[in-house]
């Protein structure tokens, strides 16, 4: 351990700590802008400069290792003045139209300007850069006029996702973040994951907003507007209203969606259960009848696009199951419309997702079981938060409401989809019972839980050896995929989620300020909420969901039936 003094406070921290870590341990918040742990550690923005006695010049706290007996100062007038200058330089070439900005009130630059008394925007009047906004992507908008060149987005794309389609172009005053050859984002290999959006401290990156279209549908008396909400939204949405990270707000969310005027409020957890029946059937079929193995999950549209771009040779391994979002939309416009006697063209199908890539998935080919798009609009958790806020709904104190039935009931297996390893665990619960014909004694497959980027396990299922791998974050997925490609690993079943930690940490979730994200594991806090929901469910295996049993009995017949294939499965683009 290392003992040091920061602002006259004595603190003991583990070896290898930075001054930023040590200050945090002492209850001192050193301001940062470019630093995002494990994403961007380049020590470039100069916001975190501190004084260390005996050191030459000022040091960058985010990168400076502490040593025994060190004496540091984080809050002298010299430092405050240096931070003011840094901020003044940034705002003098920044579009300071805060009122029109999606990040108004949730912006790290705005927050720091307030903290250091930077109130004016033209300290260094002169030439300002002017950029056109790139709205080419179905999911993400890039506005370089708001960019502060911190490179957190670049780090997210490169280090978390291993994609690297955005980077710094030009030098000096002309520097800007863009793609190679300045291609519009839609024409690059961007997978729409939104990890860059979640990393952005300002309003330079945001999702393509669909709230206006959804509000128009809600106002239209001729439309029957249904909504489904993803597993992870219920452990994220509360953050939009100041609740602690990971708070479960399932019942409040249903109540809020009803108040917003949706005709039916359904649950993606239901179709997650449905996905498990189809996918477990597909797995068993491939194992018993010699299909392409490993089978790889297909729920995450960022992963699907990544596979199409970088591993097209592995597309035969990817499950043909549509994602739960798409299965839901397909079931609403076929089974539900037919059973309830609602004309398909009256139905507007909306989803709320922790994801930006789900917007892109809605528009994919072969996602139109009833001849029209399965899902019409996909909103992020953040967009739902802003709808609720605009409507004046007192979310925190809202009495809870259940979800509508049918299509609103789920088992514990469905809700854990949102955490990395959850789809694997849910599938194992059903596949093992189906193969062995015996009831599982314990439904928890804890080897595949947790936030590690790659997890492996082996199970003996009725004499059959089943090797599984779970990867989240595409840079981690790459390791698993390369091992499959080279023949080094012999897996039976693989789960891949594009975002690190899975959907709980999706690019559409409420954005967590770096001053928090640098010190807590947001993924683990949100996942905990999902596993608690699972634990408290009387039914924890997808094949026991009574609404799913009824759906097969009255409509699809068996998992993998021709009708199920037509409505619930899809093809990929090679």
Q: What angle do CA 18, 21, 22 make, to 5 degrees?
A: 90
| CB 327 within 8 Å of CB 268 | no
Residue 165 interaction partner, one of ligand SF4, ligand HC1, none, beta carbon < 5-8 Å per kind:
ligand SF4
Residue 22 interaction partner, one of ligand HC1, ligand SF4, none, beta carbon < 5-8 Å per kind:
none
In the complex with ligand HC1, which residue's Cβ is closer, 143 or 250?
A: 250
Number of residues that bind ligand HC1 (CB under 6 A): 20
Kindly tell me which residue out of 323, 373, 380, 472 binds ligand HC1, with binding defined by CB under 6 A: 323
Q: Is 36 in the site for ligand SF4 (CB under 6 A)?
A: no
Q: Is 300 in the site for ligand HC1 (CB under 6 A)?
A: yes
DSSP 161-211: TS----EEES-GGG-EEE-GGG--GGGSS-----HHHHH-SSSSEEEPP-H
Reading phi first (left if > 0) and then psi (alpha if -120 to 50, else beta), residue 391 is in alpha
Residue 190 interaction partner, one of ligand HC1, ligand SF4, none, beta carbon < 5-8 Å per kind:
ligand SF4
Per the structure block, which two tokens stand in for 217?
A: 């549908």
Q: Is 74 in the site for ligand SF4 (CB under 6 A)?
A: no
Q: Is 506 in the site for ligand HC1 (CB under 6 A)?
A: yes
Q: What DSSP character marks residue 516?
A: H
Q: Is 193 in the site for ligand SF4 (CB under 6 A)?
A: yes
In the complex with ligand SF4, which residue's Cβ is closer, 47 or 197?
A: 197
Least Cβ distance, residue 455 to ligand HC1 (angstroms): 16
Residues 162-181 within binding reach of ligand SF4 (CB under 6 A): 163, 165-166
Least Cβ distance, residue 328 to ligand HC1 (angstroms): 8
Q: How far apart are CA 73 and CA 76, in angstroms?
A: 7
Q: Which helix (DSSP H) or strand (DSSP E) does residue 216 occupy?
A: helix 211-219
Segments of 243-298 assigned E as strands: 264-267, 295-296
Residues whose CB is less than 8 angstroms from the CB of residue 20 and which lie 6 or more positions away in sequence, other chains included: 30, 32, 35, 48, 61, 62, 64, 518
Residue 388 interaction partner, one of ligand SF4, ligand HC1, none, beta carbon < 5-8 Å per kind:
none
Kindly tell me which residue out of 157, 347, 352, 484 binds ligand SF4, with binding defined by CB under 6 A: 157
Q: Is 246 in the site for ligand HC1 (CB under 6 A)?
A: no
Parallel/antiparallel/unpaired status of strands 464-472 and 454-461: antiparallel
In the complex with ligand HC1, which residue's Cβ is closer, 22 or 280?
A: 280
Q: How far apart are CA 470 and CA 474, in angstroms?
A: 11
Least Cβ distance, residue 323 to ligand HC1 (angstroms): 4
Q: How far apart are CA 395 and CA 399, in angstroms?
A: 9
Number of residues that bind ligand SF4 (CB under 6 A): 14
Per the structure block, which two tokens stand in for 29?
A: 């918040």
Kindly tell me which residue out of 50, 62, 348, 503 binds ligand HC1, with binding defined by CB under 6 A: 503
Q: Is 324 in the site for ligand HC1 (CB under 6 A)?
A: yes
Q: Is 418 in the site for ligand SF4 (CB under 6 A)?
A: no
Residue 354 interaction partner, one of ligand HC1, ligand SF4, none, beta carbon < 5-8 Å per kind:
ligand HC1
| CB 411 within 8 Å of CB 273 | yes
Kindly tell me which residue out of 232, 373, 381, 518 binds ligand HC1, with binding defined by CB under 6 A: 232
Residues whose CB is less than 8 angstroms from the CB of residue 38 and which lie 6 or more positions away in sequence, other chains included: 159, 160
Least Cβ distance, residue 360 to ligand SF4 (angstroms): 10
**What is the phi/psi pair of residue 18, to 5°?**
-90, 170
Q: Which helix (DSSP H) or strand (DSSP E) does residue 283 occupy?
A: helix 268-289
Q: Select from 292, 306, 216 the least CA-distant residue to 492.
A: 292
Provide the mask over 123-152, with x wherever binding to ligand SF4 is found by CB under 6 A and - wherever it is not: -----------------x------------
In the complex with ligand SF4, which residue's Cβ is closer, 246 or 500?
A: 500
Least Cβ distance, residue 274 to ligand HC1 (angstroms): 10
Kindly tell me which residue out of 238, 246, 406, 418 binds ligand HC1, with binding defined by CB under 6 A: 418
Q: How far apart are CA 109 and CA 83, in angstroms?
A: 12
Q: How far apart are CA 501 and CA 246, in angstroms?
A: 13
Q: How far apart are CA 547 and CA 344, in angstroms?
A: 22
Least Cβ distance, residue 518 to ligand SF4 (angstroms): 19
Residues whose CB is less than 8 angstroms from the CB of residue 336 and which lie 6 or more positions away in sequence, other chains included: 226, 342, 406, 407
126 three-state secondary structure: coil
568 to 183, 513, 538: CA distances (angstroms): 35, 38, 27
Provide the mask over 330-369, with x wherever binding to ligand HC1 is found by CB under 6 A and - wherever it is not: -----------------------xxx--x-----------
Name the site residues for ligand SF4 (rule: CB under 6 A).
140, 156-157, 161, 163, 165-166, 190-196
Name the site residues for ligand HC1 (rule: CB under 6 A).
230-232, 268, 272, 299-300, 323-325, 353-355, 358, 417-418, 497, 502-503, 506
């Amino acid at each position: 351990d290392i003992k040091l003094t920061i602002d006259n406070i004595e603190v003991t921290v583990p070896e290898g700590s930075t001054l930023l870590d040590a200050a945090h341990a002492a209850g001192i918040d050193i301001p940062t802008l470019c630093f995002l742990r494990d994403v961007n550690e380049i020590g470039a923005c100069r916001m975190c400069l501190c004084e260390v006695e005996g050191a030459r010049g000022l040091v960058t706290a985010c990168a400076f290792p502490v040593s025994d007996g060190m004496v540091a100062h984080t809050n002298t007038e010299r430092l405050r003045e240096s931070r003011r200058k840094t901020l003044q330089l940034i705002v003098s070439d920044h579009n300071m139209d805060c009122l029109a900005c999606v990040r108004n009130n949730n912006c790290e630059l705005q927050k720091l300007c307030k903290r250091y008394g930077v109130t004016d925007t033209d300290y260094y009047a002169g030439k300002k850069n002017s950029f056109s906004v790139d709205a080419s992507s179905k999911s993400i908008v890039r506005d370089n006029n708001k960019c502060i060149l911190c490179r957190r987005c670049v780090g997210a794309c490169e280090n978390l996702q291993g994609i690297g389609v955005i980077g710094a172009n030009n030098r000096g005053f002309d520097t800007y973040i863009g793609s190679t050859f300045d291609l519009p984002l839609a024409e690059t290999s961007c997978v729409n994951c939104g990890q860059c959006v979640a990393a952005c401290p300002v309003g330079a990156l945001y999702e393509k907003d669909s709230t206006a279209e959804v509000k128009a549908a809600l106002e239209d008396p001729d439309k029957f507007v249904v909504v489904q909400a993803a597993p992870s939204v219920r452990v994220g949405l509360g953050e939009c209203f100041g609740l602690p990270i990971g708070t479960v707000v399932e019942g409040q969310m249903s109540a809020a969606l009803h108040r917003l005027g949706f005709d039916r409020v359904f649950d993606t957890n239901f179709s997650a259960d449905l996905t498990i029946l189809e996918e477990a059937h597909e797995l068993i079929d491939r194992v018993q009848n010699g299909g392409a193995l490993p089978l790889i999950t297909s729920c995450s549209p960022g992963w699907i696009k990544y596979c199409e771009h970088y591993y097209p040779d592995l597309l035969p391994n990817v499950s043909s199951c549509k994602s739960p979002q798409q299965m839901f939309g397909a079931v609403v416009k076929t089974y539900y419309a037919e059973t309830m006697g609602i004309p398909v063209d009256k139905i507007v199908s909306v989803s709320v997702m922790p994801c930006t890539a789900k917007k892109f998935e809605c528009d994919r080919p072969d996602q139109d079981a009833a001849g029209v798009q399965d899902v019409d609009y996909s909103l992020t958790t953040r967009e739902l938060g802003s709808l609720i806020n605009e409507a004046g709904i007192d979310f925190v104190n809202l009495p809870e409401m259940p979800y509508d039935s049918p299509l609103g009931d789920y088992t514990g297996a469905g809700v854990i989809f949102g955490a990395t390893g959850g789809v694997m665990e849910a599938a194992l619960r059903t596949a093992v019972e189906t193969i062995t014909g015996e009831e599982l004694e314990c439904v928890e497959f804890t080897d595949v839980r947790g936030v590690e980027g790659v997890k492996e396990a082996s199970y003996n299922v009725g004499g059959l050896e089943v090797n599984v791998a779970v990867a989240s974050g595409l840079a981690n997925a790459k390791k698993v995929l390369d091992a499959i490609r080279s023949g080094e690993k012999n897996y039976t079943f693989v789960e891949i989620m594009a975002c690190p930690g899975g959907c709980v940490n999706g690019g559409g979730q409420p954005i967590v300020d770096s001053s928090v994200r640098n010190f807590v594991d947001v993924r683990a806090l949100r996942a905990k909420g999902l596993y608690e929901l699972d634990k408290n469910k009387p039914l924890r295996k997808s094949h026991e969901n009574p609404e799913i049993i009824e759906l097969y009995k009255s409509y699809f017949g068996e998992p993998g039936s021709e009708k199920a294939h037509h409505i619930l499965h899809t093809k990929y683009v090679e």
